[in-house]
Chain A
Amino acid sequence: MWVALSYACWGISIVLALWMLYDWFKIDTNYSEDVLTSSREGELEAASEKHRI
């Protein structure tokens, strides 16, 4: 049973790694770099929360 579990672990690892690589490729080809890297630190805090004492 443990040996079968070991093979299953390899299988799951390979499938999920390939899925992530596929999704990475899909996202990087469908979206521009400007959109993907558009996150800004503190943006929400500055925009939505009033900074008053």
Chain B
Amino acid sequence: MADAAETVADRAAPRAPGAALVPRLPDARWRPAEVVFWLAVVAAYFVFPKHHVIGSQILITGLFALSLDLILGYAGIVSLGHAAFFGMGAYAAGLLAVHGWGEPVSGLAVAALAGAATGYLTSFLVVRGSDLARLMVTLGIGLMLFEAANQLPSITGGADGLSGVAMWKVLGAWSFGMTGSTAYVYSGVVLFALFVVARRLAASPFGLSLRGVRENVKRMPAIGAPVARRLVAVYTISAAMAGVAGGLLAQTTQFVGLDVFGFPRSADLMIMVVLGGAGRLYGGLVGAAVFMIAHHWLSDVNPIYWQFWLGLLLVLVVLFARGGILGAIEALRGRRGMQR
């Protein structure tokens, strides 16, 4: 990304002074590869009619990964506690349904609010630290919420989990059934809608200023950008998205377990974003899909030792594919371009 910023500057230099003052925004048009990606999401529905349940969970995890990519890949905030917002969303949507309001879309709105509120309140702790401090603070917040949920069994069901999440039909027409088909389409539509938001955001001046913060925090105030305020804003937006992802999981599985706040969920998420390629929006989606499909397939092949192969895959990707899977694809393309 540093390269990209430089090329922008280089290109701008020879122009007339007036033109150079107009900031060049990243190209916001949809590229063919993106259209292919989303068509693949639609095609997967028809090609794998028996895999809608895992499909819906991949889409949900993809949304969760997208939310982390916004803060990790764009603003450079490392977090090992993103499950905090996922969990808040899951419990908010779950509790709403348990207490008699099972309408899914408004449930997601509540989940988003729960995530955003938690994100906003904790953002002030996160923006002031350095990377290491942020890792610790986010980790700590995740652990605190986990324990709080564990200690309030009358509300959350404690370690037994929250069951009896009775969902109404989506838009009054489709019920969440055994096959997971409704869950797939519902999660897919929500993911796409929020992706469009994230994409616009990343391509906006706001998104550019985030990259500026990531690349050089000290210079940003010098050009008049309020670093802390930008970080609080993106952290809150990211937390809201994570909340929606949690809400989706609660609604589609109709159960909320304590593990929604669990450290493994945050850690896996970080792995997915790095695996797919951080700072690319699609990186989180691709990482989540590859990670979960590999997990699913390997644990089917061998239910006991599958973690070994998953670990090997991660090590290989990190060693041989800089910038994750998408980074590797870009590098390959770049090389081919030069040969021509």
> Are A and B physically bound partners?
no
Show the binding face of B for A, using Cβ within 8 Å. Answer: none
